Amino acid sequence: ASASCSHGRALASPEPGRKILPRMVSHSELRKLFYSADAVCFDVDSTVIREEG
């Protein structure tokens, strides 16, 4: 099964061994997750820019 990232929410995965995270994690926990992750997904859209281009 595949999952996609969605606006900072932790993803519930039916796959064994996947960690389901609370909405907010501490800075140290976040660093551990980034360094140990096989992949990281970022939600990139136009909410951070003034106009589409």
Q: 7-10 contacts: CB < 8 A, separation 24 or more?
A: 7/43, 8/43
Active site residue: 45, 46, 48, 53, which one? 45
Give residue for tokens 């140990």: 36
9, 29, 37, 43: which one is catalytic?
43
Query: Does the annotation mark 38 as catalytic?
Result: no
Catalytic: 43?
A: yes
Residues 39, 21: Cα–Cα separation, whole Å: 15
Residues labelled as active-site residues: 43, 45
